[in-house]
Amino acid sequence: MLEFSKTRVLKIARKASGSGGDVTYSDYNPYLKEMINDGVLQPTEVGWTLFEIRKQLLNKNNEPGDRYYCRRLGRKTVFTNTLNGLFGGEEK
């Protein structure tokens, strides 16, 4: 199974949620392209990698500032930081 940096996944999420409020899968495109170019990730494995990113973002064991919940916004899946979210800082 492909191992990637949880620290890097959360860093990308922090940066995206700090600037726009929500994190989307497209925020990870540069990271995934870098992994493909380095030969670490095959293009056919990207879907599974997005599932792993989702698991890391939704992990209840993350620090309070790194906890996210998932919701649908039209056809997009977005992750909102629980501290900035719709529920006044409480997890869904």
Domain total for the chain?
1
Is 88 part of any domain? no
Q: With beta carbons less than 8 A apart as the criterion, state whether 57 and 23 touch.
A: yes
Q: What is the model's pLDDT at position 54?
A: 93
The range of the structural domain enclosing residue 11 comes to: 6-81
Rounded Cα distance, 42 and 48, in Å? 11
How crowded is the C-beta side of 78, counted as CA atoms within 13 Å?
A: 16
Is 87 part of any domain? no
Tokens encoding 83? 């501290």
Mean pLDDT confidence for 81-85: 69
Sheet harboring 68-73: ordered strands across? 22-24, 76-81, 68-73
Is 72 part of any domain? yes
Q: What is the model's pLDDT at position 9?
A: 93
Query: What average pLDDT does the chain have?
Result: 84
DSSP state of 89: T
Q: Would you say residue 88 has pLDDT above 60? A: no
Is 73 part of any domain? yes
Is 86 part of any domain? no
Q: What is the model's pLDDT at position 84?
A: 61
Q: With beta carbons less than 8 A apart as the criterion, state whether 44 and 52 touch.
A: no
Is 50 part of any domain? yes
Is 35 part of any domain? yes
- 26-66 pLDDT tens trace: 999 999 999 999 998 999 999 899 999 999 999 999 888 88
